[in-house]
Copies of this chain bind each other. A is one copy, B any other.
Amino acid sequence: MKLTEAKLQFIASWGAFGTHWGINRTMAQIHALLMVSADPLTQDDIMEELNISRGNVNMNIRELITWGLVDRILLSGERKEYFSAEKDIWKVATQIIKERKKRELDPMLKLLGTLENIEGDKRDKNVKQFVETIAGIRKFGKQADQMLDVMIKAEESWFLAGMMKMFK
């Protein structure tokens, strides 16, 4: 397989992958393109490679930047902005984890905390089931939260080395 074809395939499947994770297809495709590009690209480069409009590129690039996955790069002597993606997949993963934790897990845990304290007779099986379910999810969520915190802070090597040793 040639580079051009492989690149297209990678971009396409990274895009499809993204849609299963609440990330829109184009955003994931731009990310994929930038990850496999040795040099930074301009908006026009991206438009051309992916056949999408300027506005679309602009919006999704900005989103990638707020996710901390893409950097704006200014080359001296150049008028245009260039964009480049973080290529260390561990950094990519921890960045995504950090953001999603903040946006999704933390608020959910907060809500579960309030829901656990409902009024009502604990002998009512529906009250009992509700409280138990919420408590169970909350406990699980807290543990995941802690685990992810460690992961975010951990260095790639020792974390995985330790992890894998533990499970062998």
A residues near B (Cβ < 8 Å) are: 1-3, 6-7, 9-10, 13, 17, 19-22, 35-39, 87-90, 93, 100, 103-104, 108, 111, 114-115, 117-120, 124-130, 132-134, 136-137, 139-140, 143, 146-147, 150, 160, 162-164, 166-167
Q: How far is the CA of A22 from the CA of B17 in the complex (A)?
A: 10
Cross-chain contact B87 with A136 (CB below 8 angstroms): yes
Cross-chain contact A143 with B117 (CB below 8 angstroms): no
A87 proximity list for chain B (CB < 8 A): 129, 132-133, 136
Q: How far is the CA of A117 from the CA of B108 in the complex (A)?
A: 43
Q: How far is the CA of A36 from the CA of B133 in the complex (A)?
A: 6
Q: How far is the CA of A162 from the CA of B165 in the complex (A)?
A: 13
The chain B residue sitting closest to A136, CB to CB, is: B89
A163 proximity list for chain B (CB < 8 A): 143, 147
Whether A37 contacts B90 in the complex (CB less than 8 A), given A118-B2, A134-B10, comes out as no
Please list 18 pairs of residues, one from A and one from B, whose beta carbons are closer than 8 Å in the complex, sorted by A's number.
Answer: A1-B117, A2-B119, A2-B120, A3-B119, A6-B115, A9-B115, A35-B133, A36-B126, A36-B133, A37-B126, A37-B129, A87-B129, A87-B132, A89-B137, A143-B163, A143-B164, A147-B167, A162-B166
Other contacts beyond A9-B111, A20-B22, A143-B164: 17, CB < 8 A: A3-B127, A10-B111, A10-B134, A13-B108, A17-B104, A19-B22, A35-B133, A36-B129, A38-B125, A38-B126, A87-B129, A87-B132, A87-B133, A88-B136, A89-B137, A89-B139, A147-B163
A117 to chain B, nearest CB (A): 7
